């Protein structure tokens, strides 16, 4: 069973947290959609929200795999971190990368 997708907007409203929600940015086709927006404007929250921001642990693990794949070279920690961060963001459908630290497969568990 896949992740139910959120349209993120209706004819008269746009969900204010859609760009940060995995249900909106999920990058794969063939998804089921909610019948309406699950966001509640009264409480300014969404029960169905799933953050699309990768955790530091996910980025760290991806950077470690990049380091291993590239021959365990020392002194390239920042480069590996940045590659891993970008890959993790892309794998979650993020359109913009927030500043911090590229293989697109690093966070998806695929090998090059």
The residue out of 52, 67, 86 marking a domain boundary is 52
- Number of domains observed in the structure of the chain: 2
Which alpha helices (DSSP H) does the chain contain, by range?
22-25, 56-69, 77-91
Give residue 75's pLDDT band: very low, low, confident or very high (50, 70, 90): very high
Both 58 and 68 in one domain: the answer is yes
State the residue range of the domain holding 95: 54-112
Q: Taking the model in full, what pTM does it have?
A: 0.64
Both 80 and 111 in one domain: the answer is yes
d(CA 28, CA 54): 17
Both 84 and 96 in one domain: the answer is yes
- Mean pLDDT along residues 39-49: 91
- Given a cut of 50, whether residue 28 has pLDDT beyond it is yes
Percent of the chain predicted with pLDDT > 70: 78
93 and 51 Cβ atoms separated by less than 8 Å: no
* Helix/strand/coil percentages in the chain, nearest 5: 30, 10, 60
């Amino acid at each position: 069973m896949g992740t139910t997708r959120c349209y993120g907007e209706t004819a008269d409203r746009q969900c204010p947290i859609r760009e940060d929600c995995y249900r909106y940015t999920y990058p794969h086709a063939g998804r089921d959609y909610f019948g309406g927006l699950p966001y509640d404007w009264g409480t300014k929250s969404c029960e169905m929200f799933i953050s699309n921001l990768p955790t530091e642990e996910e980025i760290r693990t991806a950077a470690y795999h990049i380091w291993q794949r590239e021959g365990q070279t020392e002194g390239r920690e920042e480069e590996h971190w940045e590659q891993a961060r970008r890959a993790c963001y892309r794998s979650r459908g993020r359109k913009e990368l927030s500043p911090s630290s590229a293989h697109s497969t690093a966070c998806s568990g695929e090998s090059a």
